[in-house]
Structure 1
Amino acid sequence: MSLHTRTKRLTVPQLVTMKGQQKIVSLTAYSSSIATLIDPIVDFILVGDSVAEGVARQITLDSKMPTIGIGASPACDGQVLVTEDVLGLGGAHLPRFVKRYADVGAVISEACAQFADRKKPGQSRARTRVTV
């Protein structure tokens, strides 16, 4: 949950409308002092991964711009999650802050195994159809 009021939250289309043809600017902060320095020149601040909860909270409180955590803290205004982690495509290792919503990797592996079993070396070149 964000520490900021709703007025600080912007959607990407709102930000694009406000900026016009100007590029959207973002930098990553790993400390509150860096966040304070870059706050006036960015559209939002990325709070780096492995930043302690208290530091991420302080960056969010001190910043006038929205903060987006990269696995940093629920105190940030938003979060970035890697699609491969959320869908179960990244293997056995799962970062502690990720909730896996599906195990798509297992489905893909099973489909590939079924295909490989149907098409062994030396078989004719007839078309092989696999339904997933």
Structure 2
Amino acid sequence: MSTHTRTSRLTVPQLVAMKGRQKIVSLTAYSSAIARVVDPLVDFILVGDSTAMVAYGRPSTLGMRLDETIAHTRAVVDSTRLACVIADMPFGSYQESHEQAFRNCAQVLASTGCDALKLEANQALASTVEFLVARGIPIMAHIGLMPQFVNAMGGYKAQGLSPDSAAALRADAQANLQAGAFSLLLEGVAEPVARAITEASDKPTIGIGASPACDGQVLVTEDLLGLGGDHVPRFVKQYADVGQVIREACARYADDVRDGAFPALQHCYGA
């Protein structure tokens, strides 16, 4: 089993220093139970706004609320001691103004104890990244397929497949790096474009549906466990069918209850 040898929580500077030295591993976690399991296995845990879809069954990430982000991130931080924890700022919490962005980002950092925040940021939002970084908030910039832009993009579509789209992605990457982002998350980006951005960047790139050349990879934990539902994105490799294990265990429990086999006296007090 691949585990790291750290004895304390990975810091943002340590994460940045991994570029070119060691592949960065990340998974999502939204609960204490999952966070405890992945903590010794990954370099950073992403508390994504995908919580809205995975934990609450909502149709998109747009409905994620700031108070929910704080609650889930706090649960992950309190349950871990080794992985860097990065929280995803929800839609509407940072786009209005620099001041709104700082107020909400500062609240998440102060309330949860997480290490950094992730923003979906094109060139237009790079100035927000710069404003936050200048005030001590480490920012991972998410470019490419940005789920918070799903309505503007007309769906969840891979980016960088045309010359114009590729050029826009390179410009987004450069703008965010110049703004001080410590890392770029590349989602749904054409492989050659993701590779080129990674090679041109002095900061680590994290891929999800991007390129093996990225400095690291992230997946939604439930997707790789087979708990993501009927639709499995192309970029997901399913490593286990935990859903089937859960169904079988719950079915055995239901049978035992209906047959009077559970609980037995050994499960009772004073028997």
Residue number in structure 2 paired with 1:51? 189
Residue number in structure 2 paired with 1:19? none
* Partner Cα separation in structure 2 for residue 42 and residue 81 of structure 1: 21
The alignment partner of 1:85 has SS state of helix
Residue number in structure 2 paired with 1:107? 245
Residue number in structure 2 paired with 1:128? 263
Task: With the length of structure 1 as denominator, give the TM-score of the two structures.
Answer: 0.70
Runs of 4 or more, structure 1, over 3 Å off, are none
Residue number in structure 2 paired with 1:26? 140
Amino acid at match of 2:213: A
Residue number in structure 1 paired with 2:214? 76
1:77-96 equivalent positions in 2, closer than 5 A: 77-96=215-234
Residue number in structure 1 paired with 2:202? 64
Residue number in structure 1 paired with 2:181? 42
Structure whose residues are more often strand by fraction: 2
The alignment partner of 1:29 has SS state of strand
The alignment partner of 2:206 has SS state of strand
Cα pair 1:36 1:62 within 8 Å, conserved: no
* Partner Cα separation in structure 2 for residue 59 and residue 82 of structure 1: 23
Amino acid at match of 1:84: E
Cα pair 2:191 2:210 within 8 Å, conserved: yes
Q: Cα distance, 1:23 vs. partner? A: 3.8
List per-residue Cα deviations over 1:17-37 (Å, max 9, x = no partner): xxxxx4432111221110000
For structure 2, the 5+ residue unaligned runs are: 1-18, 25-42, 45-81, 85-114, 116-135, 145-168, 265-271
Q: Specify the structure having the higher radius of gyration (Cα).
A: 1
Q: Residue 6 of structure 1: which of 9, 17, 21 is its match? A: 21
What is the aligned-residue RMSD (CA, Å)? Answer: 2.9
Task: With the length of structure 2 as denominator, give the TM-score of the two structures.
Answer: 0.37
Amino acid at match of 1:128: P
Q: Cα distance, 1:127 vs. partner? A: 5.3
Cα pair 2:208 2:217 within 8 Å, conserved: yes
Amino acid at match of 1:42: A
List per-residue Cα deviations over 1:90-122 (Å, max 9, x = no partner): 2343322322222111110111111122224xx
* Partner Cα separation in structure 1 for residue 140 and residue 182 of structure 2: 6
* Partner Cα separation in structure 2 for residue 110 and residue 28 of structure 1: 38
